Chain A
Amino acid sequence: ILNVEQSPQSLHVQEGDSTNFTCSFPSSNFYALHWYRWETAKSPEALFVMTLNGDEKKKGRISATLNTKEGYSYLYIKGSQPEDSATYLCAFTSGTYKYIFGTGTRLKVLA
Chain B
Amino acid sequence: GAVVSQHPSRVICKSGTSVKIECRSLDFQATTMFWYRQFPKQSLMLMATSNEGSKATYEQGVEKDKFLINHASLTLSTLTVTSAHPEDSSFYICSATHPASRTHNEQFFGPGTRLTVL
Binding site for B on A (CB under 8 A): 4, 31-32, 34, 36, 41-44, 46, 49, 51, 89, 91, 93, 96-104
A103 to B45: give the CA distance in the assembly, Å: 10
Contact A43 B43 (CB under 8 A): no
A103 to B43: give the CA distance in the assembly, Å: 4
> What residue of chain B has the Cβ atom nearest to residue A97's Cβ?
B105
Which residues on the B side are within 8 Å of A104 (C-beta)? 43
Size bracket of the B interface: 20 to 34
Q: Which 3 A-B pairs have the closest CB atoms?
A: A101-B43, A101-B44, A44-B109
Q: Which of B4, B49, B110 meets A97, CB within 8 Å?
A: B49
Contact A49 B41 (CB under 8 A): no
Which residues on the B side are within 8 Å of A96 (C-beta)? 105
A49 to B41: give the CA distance in the assembly, Å: 24
Which residues on the A side are within 8 Å of B32 (C-beta)? 97
> What residue of chain B has the Cβ atom nearest to residue A98's Cβ?
B46
> What residue of chain A has the Cβ atom nearest to residue B10's Cβ?
A41
Which residues on the A side are within 8 Å of B93 (C-beta)? 44
Q: Which of A32, A34, A42, A97 meets B97, CB within 8 Å?
A: A97
Contact B34 A97 (CB under 8 A): yes
A64 to B109: give the CA distance in the assembly, Å: 21
A101 to B110: give the CA distance in the assembly, Å: 16
A32 to B9: give the CA distance in the assembly, Å: 30
Contact A43 B109 (CB under 8 A): yes
Which residues on the A side are within 8 Å of B9 (C-beta)? 41
Q: Can you list 27 A-B contacts (CB < 8 A)? A: A4-B43, A31-B105, A32-B104, A34-B106, A34-B107, A36-B109, A41-B9, A42-B111, A43-B3, A43-B111, A43-B112, A44-B93, A46-B106, A49-B104, A51-B104, A89-B44, A93-B105, A97-B49, A97-B107, A99-B46, A99-B105, A100-B43, A101-B36, A101-B44, A103-B41, A103-B42, A103-B43
**B4 to nearest A CB, angstroms?**
6
Which residues on the A side are within 8 Å of B42 (C-beta)? 103
